[in-house]
Structure 1
Amino acid sequence: MSGAVQRVAILGAESSGKSTLAEALAAHYGSVWVPEYLREFVDTHARVPFESDQYPIARTQRAREDAAAARATRFLFCDTTPLMTALYSRQYWGRVDPQLARLDGSHDYAFTFVTAPDGPWEPDGLQRESEEVRQKVHRMLVQTLDARAIPYVLLAGSLPERLRQVEALLGAA
């Protein structure tokens, strides 16, 4: 596996620092990151997704990962994965589309990091709901990872503290 790019999943509830961390890690390791497609979707469509949008959003996210892997060196930092899309489907519609469930089930990342919701919650237009939803989604995420026996590391504190936690696991740049 020497030389192969390892995908790093960065998961977390809304306003927990996923994008900031993914971008900082890519810069630190001289690699690339895959921004969360949902943000672009909301900006482009000027609305939150409908239930029928969930699978296409997750599929686009994964396709962008695949495309970015060719440009990555050592690590590819993924700002969210289909797992988060599925969690939000459960949160808002009480179910997950079977196609999304299959995509969500293929969580094949070398490392999974969860950003703790320990910073201030900040509204972000259409995309963010509330501190209560952020905490609930965080609990759902941790329960899902535990139930699936997906190893993860919870990252807490400031950005520099989170970067040090990741570097301790991934090694020096």
Structure 2
Amino acid sequence: MKILVLTGPESSGKSWLAGEIQARFGGVVVGEYVRHFIEREQRDTCYADIPAIARGQLAWEDAARAAAPALLILDTHLLSNMLWSHSLFGDCPAWLEQELCARQYDLHLLLDPQGVPWVEDGQRCQPQLQERLAFHQACRHWLTSNDQPFCELTGGWTARRQAALEKVAELLGSANQHTGPGQ
């Protein structure tokens, strides 16, 4: 099983790319639990919600991991929960980072907020590019500091899609190098 994570600021194409990747390569997509939480609760989140949101995200991820698909596509993971918690509330439960570091991910696709428009959807809250750039930089810093495998996707929608599909093809190709006959 290869585990791919789409990460970066809001409105940079994570959910859309997850669907594009799944359409091309199959696999299982795990969405953003926080969106489900907000829709269910019909209110904005508060700091006290962070543990429940993180546990919900982990439960969705763990259920998908248990099914052991060849490709697991995570529309987000605890990194976003951590960064949003810090951004919105100035703090984050320490166990989120510990839990994130204890898990293995094969590749993170880090999406740049530049080159694509911000789209309001009723849950997003960073319409200013500078805010999204700061979130992107925080993602990059964490990935780099924690020796996580990642590549950045930039440009418009077509360029992002092409780069994402190429990177996933490489990821899956390396997964199959040792399993095929004569290899």
What is the TM-score when the length of structure 1 is the normalising length? 0.87
Could you report, residue by residue, the CA deviation over 1:101-124 in whole angstroms, capped at 9, with x for unpaired residues? 322333421111111213101112
CA spacing shift, 1:47–1:133, aligned 2, 3 Å: farther
Is the aligned partner of 1:79 residue 2:75?
yes
Q: 1-side partners of 2:169 and 2:153: how far apart?
A: 12
Which residue does the alignment assign to 1:160?
Answer: 161
Structure 2: where are the runs of 5+ without partners? Answer: 174-183
Q: 2-side partners of 1:70 and 1:28: how far apart?
A: 22
Q: 2-side partners of 1:12 and 1:61: how far apart?
A: 16
**Percent identity between the aligned chains?**
31
Q: Which has the larger radius of gyration?
A: 2
Q: How do 1:54-93 and structure 2 match up within 5 A?
A: 54-71=50-67, 73-93=69-89
User: SS where residue 72 of structure 2 aligns?
Assistant: strand
Q: 2-side partners of 1:110 and 1:17: how far apart?
A: 20
What CA RMSD, in Å, does the superposition of the two structures yield over aligned residues?
2.0
Deviation for aligned residue 1:64: 0.7
Which residue does the alignment assign to 2:147?
Answer: 149
Could you report, residue by residue, the CA deviation over 1:14-64 in whole angstroms, capped at 9, with x for unpaired residues? 111111111221221121100111111111112221111112211211111
**Which of 111, 132, 143 is residue 115 of structure 1 equivalent to?**
111
Which residue does the alignment assign to 2:125?
Answer: 128
Aligned residues: 169
Which residue does the alignment assign to 1:52?
Answer: 48
What is the TM-score when the length of structure 2 is the normalising length? 0.82
Deviation for aligned residue 1:156: 2.1
Does the 8 Å CA contact 1:58/1:82 hold for their aligned counterparts? yes
User: SS where residue 8 of structure 1 aligns?
Assistant: strand
User: SS where residue 47 of structure 1 aligns?
Assistant: coil
Q: 2-side partners of 1:71 and 1:53: how far apart?
A: 28
Does the 8 Å CA contact 1:31/1:73 hold for their aligned counterparts? yes
**Which of 21, 24, 27 is residue 25 of structure 1 equivalent to?**
21
Q: 2-side partners of 1:85 and 1:148: how far apart?
A: 16
Q: 1-side partners of 2:76 and 2:112: how far apart?
A: 14
